[in-house]
């Protein structure tokens, strides 16, 4: 009993460490100007396009991570046998998604580069410490009323931890529950949480029956996994210096600004593996999808006009709303599981929309 308690405490400490590293990796608060807040400087339609193009690597990376690390062997567990694991995934942003051209995403005439030759800007996964091009904001009469720099990149890989428990059922089937309990690490870093479930079935037993282990030198299984991830990130967008409300109808309450994001991911795969004493290499091929729904919640002041005395702003409520499939395609995973008594060690490499790695530890019987 004392040994199990020590194992649980050790895994809990490792999980909390991985979780904090993930939040720090996802946070943009380290920038002098918050990356996402800096994007909401134009009308809702333009802000949504800029936000989506900039954040797309984050959305894709979270989707790849959600679909990683579900299985490291095709062999299913005997009835009521179990394992518990803590792993971490890291999806690497592709070169093609590290920048984008602001003139190619369908912005209106109200938002234009200050320098027509400077149109390439970093995404969330692009180069850090160097801001993107300066964009000018124009009113309906073509008068310049504001300007802002596109933000620098934040991080070139997207990390995410997972903790999951797998239990063997009857008929050579496993069920898996995966979760990230919601924890907030300060307002700047925000919070992330996840819940998911998976099933795996050993089809080799269906093909060859009880003699499968003796007749066929490998295990073969099919598996599915679904997960729902929630991301919340505080924003801070205030009126530009000296800007006044356009009229008395404009809200001046900007206290509840935040990103509310949800990501629904699904994967299905065929797994083949071979146990060699304590070492079990595996290969899996399949299909995965992720749908992202992201909203900038709250009231946001956007400079839309000006007078000889000062600029004026219009308050937009929930100006950014994105709902789209960000992952949709094949994936392949290769890796191994190492069993040392009750302890397990896992690692894998995946090729999907982004390449990724997953590694972790666990214990079970």
Rounded Cα distance, 226 and 197, in Å: 6
Tokens of 354: 């982004």
Does residue 4 have a pLDDT over 50?
no
Query: In the structure, what pLDDT confidence band is assigned to residue 309 with cuts at 50, 70 and 90?
Result: confident
CB atoms within 10 A of CB 170: 8
What's the alpha-carbon Rg for the chain, to the nearest Å? 24
pLDDT value at residue 204? 82
Residue 74 has pLDDT above 90, yes or no: yes
Q: And the tokens for 344?
A: 């397990």
Q: What are residue 314's phi and psi, to 5 degrees?
A: -110, 140
Average pLDDT over residues 219-247: 92
Residue 38's CB: how many other CB atoms inside 10 A?
A: 22
Confidence of residue 214 (pLDDT cuts 50, 70, 90): low
Instruction: Report the residue count for the chain.
Output: 365
- Spatial separation of the C-alpha atoms in residues 41 and 136, rounded to whole Å: 10
Region 287-310: mean pLDDT is: 91
Two structure tokens written together for 194: 């996840």
Phi-psi region of 277 (alpha: psi -120 to 50; beta: other; left: phi over 0): left
Q: Which residue has the tokens 């400490």?
A: 13
Number of compact structural domains in the chain: 1
Mean pLDDT value of segment 130-152: 92
State yes or no: pLDDT of 327 exceeds 70.
yes
Question: Which has the higher per-residue pLDDT, 296 or 218?
Answer: 296
**Band (212; pLDDT cuts 50, 70, 90):** low
CA separation for the pair 327, 330 (Å, rounded): 9
pLDDT tens digits, one per residue of 189-198: 578 889 999 9
213 pLDDT exceeds 90? no
Place of tokens 């692009």: 126
d(CA 15, CA 8): 10
Check residue 345 and give its pLDDT: 96
Per-residue pLDDT at 28 = 40
- 3-state SS string for 170-195: CCCEEEEEEEEEEEECHHHHCEEEEE
d(CA 178, CA 160): 13
Q: Taking residues 105-128, what's their average pLDDT?
A: 95
Q: What is the pLDDT of residue 185?
A: 56
Q: How confident is the model at residue 238 (pLDDT cuts 50, 70, 90)?
A: very high
* Percent of the chain at pLDDT exceeding 90: 68
Tokens at 352, concatenated:
């999907």
Its pTM stands at: 0.89
Q: Tokens 């979780």 map to which residue?
A: 19
Does the pLDDT value for residue 31 go beyond 50? no
Res 15 pLDDT > 80: no
Q: Strands of 144-149's sheet, edge to edge?
A: 111-113, 134-138, 144-149
> Is pLDDT at 94 greater than 80 in this prediction?
yes
Q: How far is CA 231 from CA 58, 138, 194, in A?
A: 11, 33, 9
Kindly indicate the confidence band of residue 129, based on its pLDDT and cuts at 50, 70 and 90: confident
- Say which DSSP state 152 is in: P
* CA angle (155, 161, 166) in 5-degree steps: 155
For residue 202, CA distances in Å to 70, 118, 119, 194, 211 come to: 15, 55, 52, 27, 13
Domain that holds residue 256: 2-364
pLDDT score, position 67: 97
Q: Is the pLDDT of residue 296 over 60?
A: yes
pLDDT at 310: 82
**Mean model confidence pLDDT for the chain:** 88
């Amino acid at each position: 009993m004392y040994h199990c308690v020590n194992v649980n405490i050790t895994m809990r400490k490792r999980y909390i460490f991985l979780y904090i590293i993930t939040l720090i990796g996802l946070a943009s608060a380290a920038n002098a100007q918050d990356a996402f807040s800096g994007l909401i400087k134009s009308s809702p339609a333009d802000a949504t396009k800029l936000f989506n193009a900039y954040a797309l690597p984050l959305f894709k990376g979270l989707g790849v991570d959600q679909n990683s690390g579900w299985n490291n062997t095709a062999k299913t567990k005997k009835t009521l046998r179990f394992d518990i694991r803590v792993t971490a995934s890291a999806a690497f942003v592709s070169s093609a998604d590290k920048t984008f051209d602001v003139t190619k995403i369908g912005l209106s005439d109200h938002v234009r580069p200050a320098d027509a030759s400077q149109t390439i800007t970093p995404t969330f996964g692009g180069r850090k410490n160097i801001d993107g091009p300066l964009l000018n904001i124009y009113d309906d009469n073509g008068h310049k009323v504001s300007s802002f720099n596109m933000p620098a990149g934040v991080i070139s890989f997207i990390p995410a931890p997972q903790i999951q428990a797998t239990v063997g059922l009857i008929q050579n089937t496993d069920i898996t529950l995966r979760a990230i309990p919601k924890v907030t690490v300060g307002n700047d870093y925000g919070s992330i949480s996840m819940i998911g479930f998976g099933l795996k079935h050993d089809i080799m037993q269906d093909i060859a029956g009880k003699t499968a282990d003796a007749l066929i030198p490998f295990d073969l299984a099919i598996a599915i996994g679904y997960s729902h991830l929630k991301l919340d990130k505080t924003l801070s967008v205030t009126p530009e210096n000296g800007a006044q409300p356009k009229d008395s109808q404009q809200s001046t309450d900007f206290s509840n600004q935040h990103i509310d994001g949800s990501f629904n991911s699904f994967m299905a795969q065929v797994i083949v593996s071979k146990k060699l004493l304590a070492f079990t290499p595996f290969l899996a091929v399949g299909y995965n999808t992720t749908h992202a729904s992201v909203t900038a919640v709250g009231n946001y002041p956007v400079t839309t006009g000006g007078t000889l005395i000062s600029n004026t702003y219009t308050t937009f409520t929930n100006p950014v709303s994105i709902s789209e499939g960000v992952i949709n395609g094949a994936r392949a995973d290769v890796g191994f599981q190492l069993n040392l008594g009750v302890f397990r060690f896992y690692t894998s490499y995946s090729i999907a929309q982004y390449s990724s790695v997953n590694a972790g530890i666990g214990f079970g019987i």
